[in-house]
Amino acid sequence: MSAESTPLRRFWAEYRENKIAVVALVVVVALILLALFASVVSPQNPYDLANLSLMDSRRPPGFVGSGGYTHILGTDPQGRDLLSAIFYGLRISIQIGLAAGLVSLTIGTALGITAAYVGGRIEALIMRLVDLQLSFPAILLALVIVALLGQGKTQLIGALVAAQYAYFARTAYGAAKAERGKDYIEAALATPLSGRLVVLRHLLPNCTPPLIVVATVQIANSISLEATLSFLGLGLPVTEPSLGMLIANGFPYMMSGRYWISVYPGVALIILIVAINIVGDQVRDQFNPRLRK
């Protein structure tokens, strides 16, 4: 037992043992970096309409376009270089996924912990709402909200948050309720510290492990949900194509053999989601006390 093993170090040591999880983590980081530096890495800016020429549209991978460079992954129906479109699409998907995830995390956790801490009628009310929400499928909820509020980034994030905060709320509630009963909280409450401080400094930190697990899963879900919505035509406006929209654009061309328009953005999407899920899985297994001998 080394003297300098902090919980983080131990966590990482155990994480390292699962090679697949490590690869997944590397992939996630790589994709995030690609997305961040999309403008630098892409050969073409797919949003700049001046760059696009319909002559280049629907070309297979390897085609040398009017811009003078090779379209490694081909082009889409608007003449966009697919590789660049994928990078930018990644950026949007990650942006929205993270934003929706973090906002849901905040709102859900606040609700859940409040319910567990305050108790009584408020607790019952909040948790009833959460339960109701949980039993309703996320995709329908998101569909309806987007339909009613129109298209746009904020609306989309709002829809995703509305669909997902309930998971966080339930997890936070469960964890907080378990901790609430423990002795150290009672002890802290007996001191002159304000209730709010107790919650922030004592209750909250001990609820974080399950929340982290839910967060990773939900971020992946947000990305997936956003892609599905975009695919159905209810996501972002056409000018800022996310990966889902790129896939949708290519769908009609699949039958005629021009598969790359849908397949490559799809592959990028899958890699992103699967990698996040693998990381989340590993984190969850490590936090689960019942599977530890």
Among 12, 106, 251, 252, binds other proteins (CB under 8 A): 251
Region of 84-92, 140-148, 188-196, 207-215 interacting with other proteins (CB under 8 A): 140-148
In the three-class reduction of DSSP (H, G, I as helix; E, B as strand; rest coil), residue 81 is classed as: strand
CB 196, min distance to other proteins, A: 32
If one asks whether residue 151 binds other proteins (CB under 8 A), the answer comes out as: no
Q: Hey, which residues between 205 and 234 contact other proteins (CB under 8 A)?
A: 220, 224-225, 227-228, 231-234
If one asks whether residue 84 binds other proteins (CB under 8 A), the answer comes out as: no
State CA 19 to chain mean position distance. 23
CB 247, min distance to other proteins, A: 7
What's the rounded Cα separation, in Å, for the pair 212 and 111?
Answer: 16
Separation in Å, CA 172 to CA 9, 34, 110, 133, 168: 25, 33, 8, 15, 6
Among 73, 278, 279, 283, binds other proteins (CB under 8 A): 278
What's the rounded Cα separation, in Å, for the pair 70 and 146?
Answer: 38
| Total number of residues that touch other proteins (CB under 8 A) | 42
What's the rounded Cα separation, in Å, for the pair 137 and 267?
Answer: 26
CB 135, min distance to other proteins, A: 6
Q: What does the H/E/C string look like for 108-138?
A: HHHHHHHHHHHCHHHHHHHHHHHHHHHHCCH
Q: Which helix (H) or strand (E) holds 230?
A: helix 204-231
If one asks whether residue 143 binds other proteins (CB under 8 A), the answer comes out as: yes
What's the rounded Cα separation, in Å, for the pair 91 and 236?
Answer: 13
Q: Which residue has the tokens 């849908």?
A: 262
If one asks whether residue 254 binds other proteins (CB under 8 A), the answer comes out as: yes
Four-CA torsion 162, 163, 164, 166, nearest 10 degrees: 80
If one asks whether residue 189 binds other proteins (CB under 8 A), the answer comes out as: no
If one asks whether residue 242 binds other proteins (CB under 8 A), the answer comes out as: no
CB 227, min distance to other proteins, A: 5
Residue 192, C-beta contacts closer than 8 angstroms, at least 6 positions apart: none
State CA 247 to chain mean position distance. 18
Q: Hey, which residues between 86 and 105 contact other proteins (CB under 8 A)?
A: none
In the three-class reduction of DSSP (H, G, I as helix; E, B as strand; rest coil), residue 177 is classed as: helix
Q: What is the CA radius of gyration of the chain?
A: 23
Among 113, 262, 279, 286, binds other proteins (CB under 8 A): 262
CB 67, min distance to other proteins, A: 28
If one asks whether residue 273 binds other proteins (CB under 8 A), the answer comes out as: yes
If one asks whether residue 26 binds other proteins (CB under 8 A), the answer comes out as: no
CB 114, min distance to other proteins, A: 22
Among 115, 172, 269, 283, binds other proteins (CB under 8 A): 269
CB 37, min distance to other proteins, A: 25
In the three-class reduction of DSSP (H, G, I as helix; E, B as strand; rest coil), residue 151 is classed as: coil
If one asks whether residue 193 binds other proteins (CB under 8 A), the answer comes out as: no
Interface residues toward other proteins, by CB under 8 A: 132, 135-140, 143-144, 147-149, 220, 224-225, 227-228, 231-234, 244, 247, 251, 254-255, 257, 259, 262-263, 266, 269-270, 273-274, 276-278, 281, 290-291, 293
